[in-house]
Chains A and B, each alone.
Chain A
C-alpha cells in the first residue's frame, strides 16, 4: 500500500486510474447488459416497439436524436420505414463506426430479432416502406433477361455491368452487390440508402425488382459460372490490361531472358 501511495503523484497516475475506471464500467456493463435471448421470443408489436426504443436509445440516438428526429450527425428517421432499418442495420452499415463520405458495409452487430425490434420502433415514428417478405424478393421464376436489361438501364452506371461496384464523387461509392442478400437488394431499391436513389413501387414495380434480383443472382451469385476462366474482378479493361502486362508480357520477358541465357557458345579454338 505504501508503494502505491508513494506513486500517487506520478504523472501517469491519472491515466492508470482512468483505465481502471473504464475497465470497471465496461466490465459492469458487460455483466449487467441485457442478454440477447431475453427478447428473442417476444412477439407483441408494442413490446417490440418498446424493446426497439431501448436498443435505439443505446445504439442510434447519439446521431439520430432521442426521438429519431435527426441531428447534425445523422438524418431524421421519421418515415424511413422498417425496410430502411432492416437494410442499414442488417448489412452492418448501422450503427456507423465513424463519420465519412459513406458508411461501409461491415459485420452485423445486432441479431435479426433486435433488428426487427429496432425496425418496429422506427416504423412507429412515421409510415414508410415495410420489410419485404420472401415472396417479394425470391428470384425464383423471375425473368432474368428482363432483369439484365433493367439493371443495365438503372443500376449499371454506378454498380458496374454485373454489380461489382464503382466510384462516386468525393470518396463515395456504389458498393459491390456480390454476396448481398436478395432481401437487402430489394430494400435498397425500395428505400435508396445513403447515396443511392430510391426506386419505389411507383417507378419500379415489385416484379421488376424481382427480375433485377434474379439477374444479379444469375450473373454475380454463388452459382455463377465464369466460362472464360478467372473473372479478374469483373472490372473490365483496367484489370485486364494489368493482367496482360504483368502475367502476359511479364511471362514472355521472363521466357525471353531464359532463351537468351541459353545460347550456343562458340568454341574457343
Chain B
C-alpha cells in the first residue's frame, strides 16, 4: 500500500496530466503515431505554412475588429476626429471603421495587419499552389488535397472581397457595384438575383450586414473546415520530397515533427506575424478616410479591387462593350462574357492534374517530386497559365500602366486583348524549349561532368576544358526522375484484318501523350550503359 502511495506521489505532474487526458481522450496512440511524423526540409515546403499562419493572424485580428465594427447601413453624420470628413453623412459601417482607425487603441494597426495579412494570405496561397503544381505534388494520392487547396484559394478571394467591401467606402462600394453589374448581366435571372442579393435596388440597406455574416461566419467557417481537412490529408499522405540519395517513394527523409519541426514551425509563425506586423506598421492599406464614404453617384479613377480580384477587373476592362438588343431586352455581352471567363481562368489550373493523369494513365502513387524541367509540358502549361493571369492583371491596372509609363491606355487595352490569346501560347512554347534545354544540360553534366573552367593543353597542341565528374549523389539526383513512354494505340487493324474501332477520346489521348512524352518532347535521360561507356573511355568526348 505504502509503495503504491509513494509511486503516485513520485509521478511527475506532466505525466499525470497526460495519463488523465489519455484515459479520457485516447490521445496517446494518436500522439505516438503523429508526433514523430517526418517533415522534409525545403524552403518551398514552408509556403503552405505562410498561408496557415497568415490565416491565423487574419482570424485573430478579425476578432478584434468585430468588437468595434457595426455592420449597419444606417446613415449617420461623422463627428470623429478626422477633420476632412466632419459633418459628412455616411453609413454606420463607414463611421465605425473610421472610429476603429482613429479612436480605438491600436485599431488602425490591427486593421492594417488584418488587411495586409489578407493580401499576403492569398498571394501565399497562389505561390504555394504553384509550388505544388510545378513539382507535380498534386499527383496521386494528393488530387483531393489539391482540390481542397484550390477551394481555399477561391474562398479566400471571396472572403477578401466581402471583407474589403464592409467599410462601405467609395472604393469598395464601386467594387460592389461592379459585382452587381456582373450579376445583372446574367441573362433572364440577373435582375432577380441582384434584387435577391441586395434586398431590392442597389445599394439598399442590407448588403453590409449580409456581407458581414458571409465574411466573418460562413466563408471562414468553410475555410476552417477545409483547412483542417487539408492538414489532415498532409499528415495522412505524408509530405512529398525531392529526389535524392536515400529518398524513395516509400520513405520520407527529414526532421521529426516533435521537437525539431514543431520548434521551427512555431518560430516561423512568429516570424510571419512579425513580418506582417512590420509591413502593417510602415505602410497604409485601404485608407478609407482618404477614399471617403460610398455614394452611388460618386466614383473615382483608379478604382481597382484588391490584387486577387485584379484579373476579373482586367477581363472587364479589356472586353469590348458588346451588347445585343432583342425584343426590348439587353444582353450585355461586354460584361457577361468576362463573368463566364472569370471562373474558367481559375478552373483551367484546377482541372489540370486530372487531365495529366488521364493522359499518362498513371495510377501509381507519387511521393517524389518532379523537378519542373523534367515535366516540360506541365511546366510550360503552368507558365502559360501564369502568363495569362498576369496579362489580365496588367489589363486590370491599365490606367496606372498608362500614367506611370506614359503610354496610351487604349494601346495597353489592345495589347492585353491580343496578349490574352497570344501570350500563353508563346509562354508555353518558350518554357518548353527552356525545359528541354535544361534537360540536355543535365544529361551533358551526367555524362561529361561539370565544366571546371580549367583549360588544358594536350601534347599535340589541342586545348580542352577539364570536366569534373559529378559525385554519386549528384548523379542520382539528376537521373532519379522517371520518363514516360508515349501511349501506343496499337495496330490499326485487329488480327482478322478488320479496322479496329478506337474511341475518339483514346485517339486524343494518344496525341496528347505524344505531345507530352514523344521524341522531341523529352530528352532521354542518360542510361547506365551510356555513362559507363563514356567514363570508361579516356575522357574523350
Binding site for B on A (CB under 8 A): 101, 143-149, 152-153, 156-162, 164-171, 173-174, 215, 218-219, 226-232, 234-245, 247-249, 251-253, 255-257, 259-261, 263-264
Within the complex, which residue of B45, B123, B170 is in contact with A161, where a contact is CB–CB below 8 Å?
A: B170
**Minimal Cβ-Cβ distance residue in B for A234:** B290
Known: A228-B283, A234-B290, A243-B283. A259 touches B267 (CB 8 A): yes
Residues of A within 8 A of B527 (CB): none
Known: A248-B123, A256-B47, A257-B43. A144 touches B83 (CB 8 A): yes
> Is B188 at the interface (CB under 8 A from chain A)?
no
**Closest Cβ of chain A: how far from B62's Cβ, in Å?**
17
A166–B84 CB distance below 8 A: no
**Minimal Cβ-Cβ distance residue in A for B263:** A264
**Minimal Cβ-Cβ distance residue in B for A151:** B292
**Minimal Cβ-Cβ distance residue in A for B264:** A259
Chain A to chain B contacts (Cβ below 8 Å), 21 pairs = A143-B87, A144-B86, A152-B170, A153-B297, A156-B300, A161-B290, A170-B410, A171-B402, A173-B402, A230-B282, A234-B290, A237-B307, A240-B286, A248-B123, A249-B50, A249-B127, A252-B50, A252-B271, A259-B271, A260-B41, A260-B42
> Is B46 at the interface (CB under 8 A from chain A)?
yes
- With A145-B87, A228-B108, A260-B42 known, 5 other A-B pairs at CB within 8 A are A145-B78, A145-B86, A146-B87, A167-B399, A252-B124
Known: A145-B84, A148-B88, A232-B284. A166 touches B301 (CB 8 A): yes
B298–A230 CB distance below 8 A: no
What is the interface of chain B mostly: helix, strand, loop, or mixed? helix
A261, B285: Cα distance in complex, Å: 32
A157, B292: Cα distance in complex, Å: 13
Q: How many residues of B contact A (CB 8 A)?
A: 75
A147, B85: Cα distance in complex, Å: 10
Binary contact track B22-59/A, C-beta < 8 Å → 1, others 0 = 00000000000000000001111111011000000000
> Is B119 at the interface (CB under 8 A from chain A)?
yes
B272–A252 CB distance below 8 A: yes
A157, B255: Cα distance in complex, Å: 56
Known: A164-B302, A248-B275. A171 touches B408 (CB 8 A): yes
Residues of B within 8 A of A219 (CB): 84, 290
Residues of A within 8 A of B170 (CB): 152, 156, 161
Residues of A within 8 A of B255 (CB): 263-264
B307–A241 CB distance below 8 A: yes
B271–A152 CB distance below 8 A: no
Within the complex, which residue of B83, B88, B306 is in contact with A149, where a contact is CB–CB below 8 Å?
A: B88
B127–A227 CB distance below 8 A: no
Residues of A within 8 A of B276 (CB): 248, 252
